[in-house]
Structure 1
Amino acid sequence: MTYIRKTICPYDCPATCGLLAETDGKRILKVFADPEHPVTKGLICRKMQHYEQSINSPDRILTPMRRIGDKGEGKFEAITWEEAGKEIADRFKKILKEDGPSAILPAYYSGTMGVIQRKCGEAFFNRLGACSLVLKLCASAKGSGYEAVMGKTSCLEPEELKQSSLILVWSSNVKATRIQAMPVLQEARRAGKRVVLIEACSREMAPYCDETILIRPGTDGALALAMMEVIAEQGLQDETFLREQCLGYEEFLPIVKQSTPEWAEGITGIPAEVIRRLALEFGQAETPAIFLGSGFSRYGNGGMTARLITILSAFTGAWKKPGGGLCGSEHNGGPFVDSRRVARPDFRKTPGRMVNINCLGSALTDTKKDIIKAFFVFGGNPVNSVCNQAEMIRGLLREDLFTVVHERFLTDTALYADILLPAVFSVEQTDCFKAYGYRTFSVGRKLVDPQGECKSNWDMFCFLAQAMGFEEEHFKRTEEEMLEDLLSHPEQGLLELTEDEWRKLRDNGTIRQPFGDHSHFKTPSGKLMIVNKELEDPVPCYREPYGGEYPLRLISVPDSHTLNSIFLERPDLVAKRGPAALMLHPLDAAERGISEGDPVTAWNDLAQVEFTASVTWQVARGTAAVSGVYSSAITGTKLLFNALNHERISDMGATTLNDNRVDVKRRTE
């Protein structure tokens, strides 16, 4: 006998999609979309349409293991949880005594986005007094730049774009990252509304837009400024709005007036006449909207660029009208629950050493001070997804570094583990989720017991806390009890739920708040902050990205077949995506004697990495683009795309994943 249960997608996407799982109570037999979910409404990505293939994969790690070969060799022997717990606790206690808590470094990111399973490791490491990880990866510069202008103001949700008269899809592969918004864009085009794509690589989104404007990577701020210059020169700005509901317009105006399309052409590679035409179209539109992705923000100037694009979205007063403004990911719904009840910052007695996640390589190889002696990875795969891969591997090869990895498959990070612990899938654990692309909150309770000896993040850290001798009651709870604690202490977003809504939520459901009030600026002054006196650069202006001496700008773009380094265990998705391809503009390829399908090597001062050439007009001139994250098992090479990425931090303390330069040559095999 089988039955259907609701559940929630736990991965790093804006929607926390609603799923239905067919189960016999022991195994998940099939996963499909939940038509009753208030946002996803029966539409899910191809990756989750056969989630059961990942859950039931024969390649899953099902028992704790100890390394028996060389580091990175991937040879392990099975051990018990008791043996693993004792070895970890003994090593941690020794390190705490001899080197202090700052010698223990945790690493995690977006392997799961649930409140409980993502944050529970913080309680354990706060109790240890270990290093704190600065989680400034992905889109954090975009969020910081937006907040520098808008404060806590909610931006548009995708459904509100139905009221937009013009949509600029800016640096966003919506098909790969926000699939629920695709019908909105298609409906807009059917209604005769223009959808314009601004991208450095348009490979997946170009067919869904009326026009594609290719831009040199890292120069989006110059385009935003030049568009404002044309709008101001033509008198299309909302002068009353900018003077009465914004701070710093007069101070910003000289920057705008000197930023002509001709100036921007030399920076962006976009012809001045195209910039002028786009600006006029935007300025004359009744309710223009910018659908803003994140790729533009992964540069040294990422936060500044986010500020400039956000200001552009308000320059014509569009925020005053339904459908006008900016659709990003800052919806500021809730708060629904207090994640501090999970993370327990009160367990930390003294401030810990701060390590930026973008600098893991340097942290693991620094032997001059604060030497890291233990590295604990959960909910992440940094060897595949964090910059300066070669340096990180060099650190992981240290014989005096004790590495623990909690994983489901033998990832490139897991290869370097001394102790490898088996992890669960979302249907095998209990959690709750706040979407970052919508104003929704969901509960996803465990549907089946974990396979083999797998443990959730929560159960693993409670087990290790016991092994360490921690006495706090927090570590003696079950994850179900933690969920009940969160729901029993609701924050603002849950205070006014009806009995039916509470019943729905507790039964693996989702509740949704109404759209935010976008014309009510939630800033200290109640006004939009064109000039922000709290910042090092109060007045927005164009800043160059880091760049470098090599001729081609290297970028990573999302792929609809995989998500970061997740789903690489699925042969069907890996096969459909194809080999690790380096996309090159035809003129750049011709200059190097490179043709479609050629084996090529990309290099800079950090590393050399092998790819297959893909020659396409869908990348900007002077750009080399890689789609998605691969693994060494797929490519057959140890070094991957992220080996070419520097650890440099952006103006908002975030990743500069796309701010690197390379050259490329044809490889003779």
Structure 2
Amino acid sequence: MSGTRVVPGACPLDCPDGCSWQVTVQDGEAVALRGTPDHPYTRGTLCVKVNQFLEHTRAEDRLLYPLRRTGRKGEGRFERITWDDALTEIAQRLTKTIERHGGEAIWPYQGTGTLGFLQGLQGRAGSRLWNVLGASRHDMTICSIAGLAGLTYTLGTSTGIDPESLAQSRLILLWGSNPLTTHHHLWKVIQRARSDGAHVVVIDPIRSRSAAQADEHIAPLPGSDAALALGLLHVVVQEGAEDQEYLDTHTVGWPEFRKLVMEFSPGRAAREAGVPEEEIVRLGQRIATSRPTAIRVSQGIQRHAGGGSALRALACLPGVTGDWRRPGGGLLYSTDGYFGGNREALYRDDLLKRPVRSLSMTRLAEGLLETDDPPVEALIVYGANPLASSPDQNRIRQGLAREDLFTVVMDHFQTDTADYADIVLPATMQPEHLDVHDGYGHVYVTWNEPAVAPPGECLSTTETFRRLARAMRLTEPALYASDEQLASELLDSEHPSLSDITVDSLRAKGWARLAYPEDHVPFADGFPTPSGKLEFVSETAEADGFDAVAGYVPALEAQDAELARQLPFVLISVASHFFLNTVFGNKPELRRRAGPPQVVVHPQDASMYGITDGDRVRVSNARGAFEALAKVADVVRPGVAMSTKGHWPKHTDDAGPNATVAERDADMGGGAVFHDNRVQITPLGGADTDNEDAQ
């Protein structure tokens, strides 16, 4: 198309901000990208990662054509083939797999590469096809599931408060949250609250960018958050600051929970969390007198053996103080539940003829190497790079190397995982396809209009699955719905959040606030629990095998004193300021700004173990090892080492932090335990000081 036009869209990436953006197109080419200026949350700005997204779509190493493997698995040698050849081969292999073992021998492995309802995770893209084929169900356990499960026992839902309500808060606890890197639009809301006198506390083992700019920073041991929360509540109760009227009217189980709280004196909480007792007393007293208090919790604190219990306990805190009933009070973990779109219409689980097994995303190695009833014979990977992102990296590599495993990877670039594929399919990027997005850190829905034609022979996820269904001669009409039809089905909902939001209105404006008032208090009319109240004591949790009373479950490795003598560091892999998971891990400018892989240790630990700033070190345990440059700094607390996620193993000696992480579940939901990981760090010599750009 000739001329200049501005096309509305949405950032697709795994970030709570879910930005609304605009693409300027001139004569058919995307020439500029910016945040939507009149969007109340995006406010015209994108992040340092996404600002260069258009350059990323034009990268020299972008996949443009279907490929077939010509070398050994893992070598990354391929030849170009046609789409017809690729789809025919995939259809034949999947058909033979079904004939031998049934559909459950197929594992559709989807990740968070895009969160779109049509092309990505939020709508379980491809679900209709996998239901018709009877494929195994893919359990999305890598990100936030333990916390979601824990919150549901307390609140009946994982949906928390509207982030924009934090502007009314007087005390903001950023608990395991670093919004300046992972949720930077929220920081603007926090700054508005600070201008009105709000006090901001960051609770994090790391002095992150956000912690450095907060009013106060408390650095607990990883996995001790529930103990710290109970200690703070002990102080609140000692101060007589519990909201008795709220407790009597809107909660169940307070006497039992209060008994547990009183067992966690500030001294005990200090020993469990490894923080000074006076810090707990001081913050507890502040919580006792600050109304409203808001807690922003991110996913990191639930990635350990007690992760679900931690979120369950944290959700109790505003129940004791009564902050759940106040605008600007309560807890924010995810807002995804605010969007009432008809997700079931996209999934079409009614197409599944019989129940099928579930395979956990964070147990990929187990699924590929140990599952045999039936074995996983076909792996279809899309929106994911599990060799870089999932636990037990070395065993995943072994599983992907199986010659009897047929692997298809749909991606934009030839990732580490794609190197092991039999067939690689080129996928469209966000400005090239239609999609609908919500956000798990705001209450808006966004329309993504295709701005430009796809390069080469790239196809959208939806079109790829339509063509594969045709190649397999499947006759179910739902498999061939257009993207416009899918969007219409999603928005065809009686849910009040979508009142007056239609395909036409959303497409015309590009975004809409869901139909909630600006001073919305989510549980003003009760909680969606069996009792209709906040549940300090949950019969549902007890029936599921957990303690009836919300409480503290220690981390497994991080809290193991005996193991600490052998493996003295708890390794935390935090979000990089320049990558988003492994997205952008191949972008030269962002790789330069991120610097080489590093591991940060406290000066006290560096002195004890002979580590010098700039040393090349080996980080290891029985599961695996990786190498990095040591950085000595007090941004970590003693006993904790910090690396960042996002580097591709092929760029870093074929290993990364996940080589050391156990393929083990958190207490709830089957969540991952990335931060429940003990390692030793050994200097290798050969200091390298060329790391001034590193985070």
Query: What TM-score range do you get, normalising by the shorter chain?
Result: over 0.9
Distance of 1:546 and 1:2 partners within structure 2 = 58
Asked whether the 8 Å contact 1:32–1:50 carries over to 2, the reply is no
Residues 1:613 and 2:637 aligned together:
no
Instruction: Say which of 540, 544, 550 aligns to 2:550.
Output: 540
Asked whether the 8 Å contact 2:178–2:211 carries over to 1, the reply is no
Instruction: Say which of 275, 278, 283 aligns to 1:270.
Output: 275
Shift of 1:153: 7.7
Asked whether the 8 Å contact 1:585–1:619 carries over to 2, the reply is yes
Asked whether the 8 Å contact 1:157–1:331 carries over to 2, the reply is no
- Larger mean CA deviation between 211-220 and 540-549 belongs to 540-549
Residues 1:562 and 2:579 aligned together:
yes
Distance of 2:649 and 2:30 partners within structure 1 = 29
Distance of 1:365 and 1:154 partners within structure 2 = 36
- 1:148 aligns with 153
Shift of 1:594: 0.5
- 2:511 aligns with 509
Shift of 1:32: 1.0
Instruction: Say which of 490, 494, 499 aligns to 2:493.
Output: 490
Asked whether the 8 Å contact 1:223–1:264 carries over to 2, the reply is yes
Change in 2 beyond 3 A, CA 1:386/1:9: same
Which SS does the other structure have where 1:277 is aligned? helix
Instruction: Say which of 461, 464, 470 aligns to 1:466.
Output: 470
TM-score (norm 1): 0.96
Amino acid in the other structure paired with 1:530: F
- Larger mean CA deviation between 543-552 and 91-100 belongs to 543-552
Change in 2 beyond 3 A, CA 1:558/1:613: same
- Structure 1 unmatched runs, 5+: none
Distance of 1:155 and 1:542 partners within structure 2 = 21
Distance of 1:125 and 1:388 partners within structure 2 = 27
Instruction: Say which of 227, 230, 244 aligns to 2:232.
Output: 227
Asked whether the 8 Å contact 1:156–1:331 carries over to 2, the reply is no
Which SS does the other structure have where 1:332 is aligned? helix
Distance of 2:344 and 2:450 partners within structure 1 = 22
Amino acid in the other structure paired with 2:230: L
Which SS does the other structure have where 1:77 is aligned? strand
Amino acid in the other structure paired with 2:538: N
Change in 2 beyond 3 A, CA 1:279/1:495: closer
Asked whether the 8 Å contact 1:372–1:401 carries over to 2, the reply is yes
- 1:4 aligns with 6
Which SS does the other structure have where 2:209 is aligned? coil
1:339-385 deviations in whole A, cap 9, x for unaligned?
Answer: 22222212211211211111001111126542211111001111111
Shift of 1:507: 4.9
Distance of 1:498 and 1:82 partners within structure 2 = 39
- 1:649 aligns with 665
Distance of 1:589 and 1:187 partners within structure 2 = 39
Amino acid in the other structure paired with 2:143: C
1:419-454 deviations in whole A, cap 9, x for unaligned?
Answer: 000011011111111222222222212121211000
Shift of 1:614: 1.4
Which SS does the other structure have where 1:346 is aligned? helix
Shift of 1:582: 0.8
Residues 1:526 and 2:536 aligned together:
no
Change in 2 beyond 3 A, CA 1:630/1:498: closer
Residues 1:96 and 2:112 aligned together:
no
Change in 2 beyond 3 A, CA 1:212/1:495: closer
Change in 2 beyond 3 A, CA 1:493/1:562: farther
Shift of 1:275: 0.8
Cα RMSD for the two superposed structures = 1.7
Aligned length: 665
- 1:302 aligns with 307
Amino acid in the other structure paired with 1:614: K
Shift of 1:100: 2.0
Which SS does the other structure have where 2:230 is aligned? helix
Change in 2 beyond 3 A, CA 1:16/1:78: same
Asked whether the 8 Å contact 2:151–2:158 carries over to 1, the reply is no
Change in 2 beyond 3 A, CA 1:334/1:157: same
Asked whether the 8 Å contact 2:293–2:329 carries over to 1, the reply is yes
Asked whether the 8 Å contact 2:291–2:323 carries over to 1, the reply is yes
Shift of 1:621: 1.6
Asked whether the 8 Å contact 1:84–1:419 carries over to 2, the reply is yes
- 2:437 aligns with 433
Asked whether the 8 Å contact 2:143–2:299 carries over to 1, the reply is yes
- Larger mean CA deviation between 237-246 and 572-581 belongs to 237-246
Amino acid in the other structure paired with 1:644: T
1:68-106 deviations in whole A, cap 9, x for unaligned?
Answer: 111111110000000001111111111111122221111
Change in 2 beyond 3 A, CA 1:342/1:506: farther
Instruction: Say which of 144, 158, 165 aligns to 1:160.
Output: 165
1:290-318 deviations in whole A, cap 9, x for unaligned?
Answer: 12222111111011000111111222112
Distance of 2:82 and 2:232 partners within structure 1 = 62
Distance of 2:337 and 2:404 partners within structure 1 = 44
Distance of 1:553 and 1:431 partners within structure 2 = 40
Shift of 1:244: 2.5
Distance of 2:289 and 2:191 partners within structure 1 = 22
Distance of 2:335 and 2:10 partners within structure 1 = 21
Residues 1:578 and 2:578 aligned together:
no
Distance of 1:229 and 1:117 partners within structure 2 = 47
Asked whether the 8 Å contact 1:302–1:651 carries over to 2, the reply is yes
Instruction: Say which of 240, 244, 254 aligns to 1:239.
Output: 244
Distance of 1:486 and 1:88 partners within structure 2 = 29
Instruction: Say which of 599, 611, 617 aligns to 2:616.
Output: 599
- 1:663 aligns with 680
Shift of 1:663: 0.9
Instruction: Say which of 441, 444, 448 aligns to 1:444.
Output: 448
Change in 2 beyond 3 A, CA 1:610/1:461: same
TM-score (norm 2): 0.93
Distance of 1:67 and 1:92 partners within structure 2 = 17
Which SS does the other structure have where 1:147 is aligned? helix
- 1:376 aligns with 380
Asked whether the 8 Å contact 1:127–1:347 carries over to 2, the reply is yes
Distance of 1:498 and 1:7 partners within structure 2 = 17
Asked whether the 8 Å contact 1:143–1:330 carries over to 2, the reply is no
Percent identity among equivalent residues? 34
Shift of 1:668: 3.4
- Larger mean CA deviation between 606-615 and 311-320 belongs to 311-320
Distance of 2:648 and 2:366 partners within structure 1 = 22
- Structure 2 unmatched runs, 5+: 687-695
- Larger mean CA deviation between 462-471 and 366-375 belongs to 366-375
Distance of 1:464 and 1:321 partners within structure 2 = 51
1:135-214 → structure 2 map (5 Å cutoff): 135-152=140-157, 154-214=159-219
Shift of 1:38: 3.0
Distance of 1:153 and 1:197 partners within structure 2 = 22
Amino acid in the other structure paired with 2:245: T
Asked whether the 8 Å contact 1:332–1:439 carries over to 2, the reply is no
Distance of 1:239 and 1:507 partners within structure 2 = 46
Change in 2 beyond 3 A, CA 1:316/1:370: same
Amino acid in the other structure paired with 2:651: I
Shift of 1:240: 2.3
